Amino acid sequence: MKKCPKCRAEIQENARFCLYCMTSFEEKQEIKTKKENNKRWLIFVAAVLVFVVIIFSVFAIALNNKTGNSSNTTDYSPVISSENDCVASNGDKMSSQQNKENNKTESNKETLFTSTSSTKGSSLDNNSNVNTTSINTTDDEKSNVTSPKSGEVSKNSSKGSATSDNKTNNTDFDASLTTSTASLSSTPTQTVAVSYIYRDAKYGDDFSVGANLENSVVITGVKTASANGEYIIPDTLGGKKVIAVMGLAFCDEKISKTVKKVVVPSSVKNIWDNAFASCYNLTDIYFCGNSIYTEVNAFAEKSKRNGTLIIHCSANCSDRNYRYYKNSASNYGAKYEEWNG
Amino acid sequence: MTVEEYLTEIFKVYSLVSVLSDKNDCRVLKLKNKKYDKYIVLRQFSKPLSAYEELYSIKCENLPLIYDVINLDDGQIVLEEFIEGLTIDEVMETGKYRYMGTRRVLRSVCQALTVLHNRGIVHRDVKPENIVIGKDGRVVLIDFNAARKISAANRDTTIMGTVGYASPEQLGVAQSDARTDIYAVGVLLNVMVTGKHPSEKLAKGKAGRIVRKCTSVNPDERYKSVEKLASAL
């Protein structure tokens, strides 16, 4: 018999456990079992952390973009919020001034312009014989004639379009109006102010990889309809060059019904898929530039359109794939008319 | 010292609470320490069992603590920790288990079996009555009366275990090994989820696939180890 070291009770000689105080005398090998939930918790916590980081970075990028836009820095990351805020208009005052000018002066451009407005595209080809030299002279005239008026116009129109974000760019904005006025003089009339929705151009908007897209915008929509259905796309909006007409830009239900004639400035290099897809009344489109790429399905299908679509462009006008409209107009289910815009 | 003499000694300090089981070669008593108010399980065997001696040296969350193994002239007495709680069998009287709950319990069972298998012991009696869920949530595999050391013998000599949970080889077809317990865990999984033996009603989905693999008649087609089964769960 021996004594328990703890309770001093008498126990069996070979006992490893005291029956009285329930104490074990021998050390046992402890086997630790895996806590199954530990790993799961870690994974869960890690997933939550990653999620939070993603949310934060998205917010940070969005915030950065907002501040970036106001300070006019170029950022190509997609931010949709700013897109709809940018609305510029080329005012109706301009067109009325234009009408007055048309009555008074007799430059080649203006003849073309009046004939278009009066006959609505039916006799455009009669005037298409206008030579290029005359255009050059009118360009000079335009800048002379319109620049003094532009200041006055810009004041009125900037009041009208209070949605414009680019308050810091007043001078640029004036300049854009000047050029809009310039393009007006070379094309069909636009009797009511047309507001365009646009955004900064970003990578890929012009199909070319690595092109410098700073100070460029793309038209993504039309806000107000033109009363006579004639749309003159300005070559600058908010002081930035308009380089493309994006998909569905003219497909707003209220707008697309009204579109009959569209003048595309030389700055626009691309017309994206479905840009005019629901403009069934579109009969004439004028390309001012010599290099433009139009997606095959940019216009409404032939069967849906009311009347023939006539593509007016110069004999030298080609798209990126070096296909002349002359030869490829049928791809669009359209007719080609030579025109010196 | 004989078993009778030892029990007389014990009853000076402990009082009998209940007889948990009483079979020919094994009697299980629940005793209470008169002074400290603590419970203990006493197992009395007519023949010494090597499994308890093996378990004495280890302490594992999923296995009961063996306080002492006393070899006497006419038998063996094992003093074991009493786990306050309910057996799976008792829990299942109130309803079936969900797969998530079953998984938690069976992973603990697998851990206990891993410890046993690593020491060359096959439990051979894994069933709802032998798994206790402690009050503290501890899952403990108890009752090593049927357990035996894996030997090189060709086949099991005596039929041990519980019919339904015993694998074909346990019933004399071949030698028992770790896969015998895997078979029982498979049956247990099915019973916990469906309330019925796999032959009556097989569990659906993932549980069903695990059960089918566990209860293959050919031991080679079962999971190769309890760890593999645990990760499959």
pLDDT single digits (tens) B55-87: 888 888 889 988 888 888 888 899 999 998 888
* A287 within 8 A of A260, measured Cβ to Cβ: no
Q: Please give the sequence-ordered ranges of beta strands (E in DSSP) within chain A, or none if there are none.
A: 2-3, 10-11, 29-31, 87-90, 194-200, 216-222, 230-232, 236-237, 240-245, 261-264, 270-271, 284-287, 293-294, 309-313, 334-338
B157 and B218: one domain?
Answer: yes
B65 and B173: one domain?
Answer: no
- End position of a domain, from candidates B28, B48, B81: B81
B145 and B208: one domain?
Answer: yes
B98 and B73: one domain?
Answer: no
If we measure between CA atoms, which residue out of A79, A294, A329 comes closest to residue A207? A294
Place of tokens 């009050």: B135
Q: Check CB contact of A28 with chain B, cutoff 8 Å.
A: yes
B124 and B211: one domain?
Answer: yes
Specify the pairing of strand B139-141 against strand B131-134.
Answer: antiparallel
Confidence bin at B175 (pLDDT 50/70/90) = low
B89 and B174: one domain?
Answer: yes
Place of tokens 């070669």: B25
Radius of gyration for the alpha carbons in chain B, expressed in angstroms and rounded: 18
B70 and B27: one domain?
Answer: yes
Are A28 and B68 within 8 A, CB to CB?
Answer: no
pTM: 0.46
Instruction: Look up B220 and say whether it is catalytic.
Output: no
| Closest-CA distance of chain A to residue B69, Å | 8
Alpha-carbon gap, residue B114 to B130, rounded angstroms: 16
| Closest-CA distance of chain A to residue B64, Å | 12
- End position of a domain, from candidates B47, B64, B81: B81
pLDDT of residue A60: 93
If we measure between CA atoms, which residue out of A87, A258, A54 comes closest to residue A160? A87
Question: Nearest residue of B to residue A14 by CA position?
Answer: B70
**Which residues from A are below 8 Å from B33, CB to CB?**
22
Number of domains in chain B: 2
**Which residues from B are below 8 Å from A31, CB to CB?**
58-60, 115
CATH number of the domain that B75 lies in?
A: 3.30.200.20
Alpha-carbon gap, residue B60 to B58, rounded angstroms: 6
pLDDT of residue B34: 87
Residues spanned by the domain of B60: 3-81
Question: DSSP 3-state assignment of B151?
Answer: coil
B95 and B195: one domain?
Answer: yes
User: Of B68, B125, B177, B181, which one is the catalytic site residue?
Assistant: B125
A91-338 domain in CATH 3.80.10.10? yes
CATH number of the domain that B177 lies in?
A: 1.10.510.10
B130 and B173: one domain?
Answer: yes
Can you give the residue ranges of every domain in chain A?
A: 1-27, 91-338
- pLDDT by residue for chain A (341 residues), tens only, comes to 788 888 888 887 878 888 888 888 888 888 877 665 567 788 999 999 999 999 999 999 998 887 755 544 444 444 343 334 444 444 444 444 444 444 444 443 333 333 333 333 333 333 433 333 333 333 333 333 333 333 333 333 433 333 334 333 333 333 333 333 333 334 566 666 788 899 988 877 776 655 677 888 999 999 888 888 888 898 888 888 898 888 888 888 888 888 888 888 888 888 888 888 888 888 888 888 777 777 777 888 878 888 888 888 777 776 544 445 666 676 667 777 777 65
pLDDT of residue A55: 95
Q: Check CB contact of A30 with chain B, cutoff 8 Å.
A: yes
**Which residues from B are below 8 Å from A21, CB to CB?**
35-36
- End position of a domain, from candidates B28, B51, B81: B81
B119 and B205: one domain?
Answer: yes
B59 and B93: one domain?
Answer: no
B164 and B213: one domain?
Answer: yes
If we measure between CA atoms, which residue out of B218, B224, B217, B213 comes closest to residue B186? B213
